Amino acid sequence: MTEKTPKRRPGGLKRAHAERQDEVDVEVSAPHAKSSRTKDVAENEDEMSVPLPDSGETDELADLKELYDKAFATLETDSEKAFSLFRGLVHESDRVLRLQAEAGETPPPHLYWVYGMALFCMSELKEEADSFDFLRLASERFARGQELAQDFHDEALDARLKLSDLHERLALGHAKALIGQARVLAHRAAEHPDIAAETLSDRESLVKDAVENFELAVQSAQAAGYSQSVAEPLLIQEISLLQSYVDALAEWDEIERWNGVAIDKLTAALKNHEASPKLWFHLGYCHWSLAKYFLDQDEEDGEEDEEDDDEKSTRYGELIGQAQPYLRKSHGYLAKSQELYGKDNPESVFMLLTLGEVLINLGNCVEAATAVDDDAEESEPSVLDGLTQDQYYERAVAAFNQARQLGGDDYMLPEQFEQFLQDWEEEMQQSEEETD
């Protein structure tokens, strides 16, 4: 296989910047949810659940929590119904806050957690271009909840509500809402480079605040008496969100900087958790992200017709040469993750997809090296780290097939990987026919 395989665009589709009202219109109809984002919310249900007071004085809080639980339970099965329920929860939260303000009462922080989570979940059910105001308001609610939690003292409620646990969840919710805002701004900047400089300061501030909130979450968990092992899943959440932000970036300096932050955190964590396949995966993904910057430059160059074929070939060789060191490091870390996951772990699907994509591009590195080596003997195929181009492709095929098997009966590989497998099978069949 000699043709270059399509490479994944970073951060998904870029969406046009649209002007929006300052306030969220919660009366709009519920959109069709994006399954991947909805799934991310649903998979974190345990992290998003917190007990609320059920005494006579706080019946309304209990009712709000019940409504939140009902909305959350419908996320995967009926996104439109979930959106409507969350919208109703926002209205009810506003009503309760208004009544408490009229009575001169200070709301408990739990109310702001429920309110913030409703807005955050609504943002996940909207197209990203329409999610910013929901995320902004959610971060404001979480921040207010954090302020109130600092001075909230009621020993009876502390025992029943696990207040330090609430501190952690408010910090986590706040961090996620902040990163979400930064990601939207990054996509806007990538789509409209003329506004990139204008949004840089805001994006940097949002991400820094998010990182600080993750640190607060770890501190709160430790204050609650949890073991040091709680830091690993919290770190994985933080790195996942940072990587989702980096995937939306277009400028090398930012991509390198925030991947560097993630790499430093992962490297430190691996000293105490070296048997964690997830940490190794994310370390590999950071280096894949760095390589992907150069590979995507080739895609953008390919959209222009000004250069002739020789110039494009030279440019491709330069770019893939710059990507190669990061690809090789990524491959090593992903291979370690694969070893620790084992063969039958369904949690390894995304790791296998990333590994397959890295292997394809390592195979392309061999192809590029062969193209520029005029003295290469045709009878001696070029190798990289002891593997030929076809051997890299064969390993990519194995990774994709394993991902498809672990994904279940209804799982479909992303289109570009299905196309790669189809092209590979056709080429193998053609090769067998020629041999016969």
Secondary structure (3-state) at 276: coil
Q: At what angle do helices 231-246 and 252-270 cross, to 10 degrees?
A: 170
Cα 39 to Cα 33: distance, rounded to the nearest angstrom: 10
Q: What is the largest CA-CA distance in the chain?
A: 88
pLDDT tens by residue, the chain, 436 residues: 444 443 333 222 222 222 233 333 443 334 444 444 444 444 444 444 444 444 444 467 878 888 998 999 999 899 999 999 999 999 999 999 999 999 999 888 989 999 999 999 999 999 988 999 999 999 999 999 999 998 876 665 555 544 457 888 999 999 999 999 999 999 999 999 888 888 999 999 999 999 999 999 988 887 766 656 667 889 999 999 999 999 999 999 999 999 999 999 999 999 989 999 999 999 999 999 999 999 998 776 555 556 667 787 888 889 999 999 999 999 999 999 999 999 999 999 999 999 999 999 999 999 877 765 555 555 566 888 889 999 999 999 999 999 999 998 889 999 999 999 999 999 888 887 777 6
Cα 346 to Cα 348: distance, rounded to the nearest angstrom: 5
Cα 150 to Cα 49: distance, rounded to the nearest angstrom: 20
Write the CB contacts of 233 (distance below 8 Å, at least 6 apart in sequence): none
b/e map of 251-273 (b: 16 or more CB within 10 Å)? beebbeebbebbbebbeebbeeb
Residue 52 and residue 15 in contact, taking contact as beta carbons nearer than 8 Å? no
Backbone φ, ψ for residue 94 (5° rounding): -60, -40
Structure tokens at 333: 């870390």
Structure tokens at 317: 């060789």
Cα 315 to Cα 92: distance, rounded to the nearest angstrom: 58
Q: What are the residue boundaries of the structural domains of the chain, listed by start?
A: 277-373+381-430
**In the prediction, which pLDDT does 27 show?**
38
Residue 81 and residue 29 in contact, taking contact as beta carbons nearer than 8 Å? no
- The H-or-E segment that residue 259 falls in is helix 252-270
